[in-house]
Amino acid sequence: MTRKIRAAAAIALIGATALVAAGCSSGSDAAGGDGGKVSMTFWHNSTTGPGKAFWEKTVKDFEAKNPNVTIKIQAIQNEDLDGKLQTALNSGSAPDVFLQRGGGKMSAMVNAGQLMDISDSIGKTAKSEISDGAFGGYKQDGKTWAMPVDVNPEGIWYSQDLFKQAGIEGTPTTMDELNDDIQKLKDAGIQPVAVGAKDAWPAAHWYYNFALRACSEKTLVKTAQDLKFTNSCWTQAGKDTKAFFDTKPFNDGYLTTAAQQGAGSSAGLVANHKAAMELMGAWDPGVISSLTPDGKPLSDLGFFPFPEVSGGKGAPGSMMGAVDGYSCSAKAPKQACTDFLNYMTEKPVQEAYYKAFNAIPANESAQSVVTEPYLKTVLESYNKAPFVSNYLDTVYGQNVGNALNTSVVNLLAGKGSVDDIISTVNQAAAKG
């Protein structure tokens, strides 16, 4: 695949500009290279299906190649992971290897001395076959704190069969066209959009994307630095979000719908043709596949980028997106831990990762195995994007991110206003 330059570097830009303080020392060098036995703990968020099986096999294969290393796996539900991880980090009982989301969340870990600097341990394959932009989102103070494993641009996943059933031709490129298509789906008796508002962040992602359309890249970057949501574009994004929410586009019971657990979740509704669309990152096809009746990929799944909104200052074609990666804790055995991170990036492992998760591998030589038309559409949109922003609850850190997610759900539930979103996040930012 062609190396990403502008879009991948843009992920690094808004992720890196949120990182503002000093670094920390790397972990100690106790490792399996001297023949000693090493045990590590590994936390990830794949609790079922092919994803869980992938990590079990990957760990087993790594242990076979490194007989002095033993890795204990703990699979934690995605929505529970951040809280449990923060508790473990703060108590000094962190896992040796764990999922890293980047942005302000990673910055807080770096500033607290909780992460290992892996800069001098990045292997040949990772250096040559993962873009600088993908690594850029995990840099602070010139050091690298995590290993990228996949790229996750966000957009709208949809059922082509349900679109055809509603008489929809093509896919919408503007918000007006999306609203028209939603009405056609309603007229056909089809629930238009699934959203897992019970988990908060899926509903808030609508606000994130409206902000990406309303705010310029300069404003998004500046806000990541000073955490002041004073530009009028943040209010405009709230107004656009409310206007969309007011059209009642979501599935029945959306406030109590989970995002990714079970057939009744938002992903499950799409997987079982109970709703036509879902706004989500590029990990969604794998989740949807695990929730179809036969446990196989949804044959009519399609993708289109978030529609354009007239009057905004965001560059057309800009996308939300992130890079998934893994960090070593500061106290992890350095050789064994970084060897495991490098193993994750080997081409055969990355190809297996793609097959397990239906997600785009970070290793660009492994991207040649991507065959699904919807993932090709994702890559095409991603490669053309003039700017890619990490998810706002990641960029702005856990406190501000949680406040943002909660206030958007309150707006959706009729318990809050657009002004409440702005005041709530500003208050959270002021508390640090």
User: Phi and psi dihedrals of 63, rounded to 5?
Assistant: -65, -35
Closest Cα to residue 11, out of 190, 197, 153?
153
Instruction: Please report, in tens digits, the pLDDT of each residue of the chain (432 residues total).
Output: 333 333 333 344 444 333 333 333 333 333 444 458 999 999 999 998 899 999 999 999 999 999 999 999 999 998 899 999 999 999 999 999 999 988 878 988 999 999 999 999 999 999 999 988 788 778 888 899 999 999 889 999 999 999 999 999 999 999 999 999 999 999 999 999 999 999 999 999 999 999 999 999 999 989 988 999 999 999 999 999 999 999 999 999 999 999 988 999 999 999 999 999 999 999 999 899 999 999 999 999 999 999 999 999 999 999 998 889 999 999 999 999 999 999 999 999 999 999 998 888 999 999 989 989 999 999 889 878 888 888 998 888 888 999 999 999 999 999 999 999 999 999 999 986
pLDDT, position 348: 97
Per-residue model confidence (pLDDT) at position 328: 98
* pLDDT for the residue numbered 432: 66
- Predicted confidence at residue 268, as pLDDT, reads 97
Give the pTM: 0.78
pLDDT at 168: 98
* Residue 418 pLDDT: 97
pLDDT at residue 202, as a whole number: 96
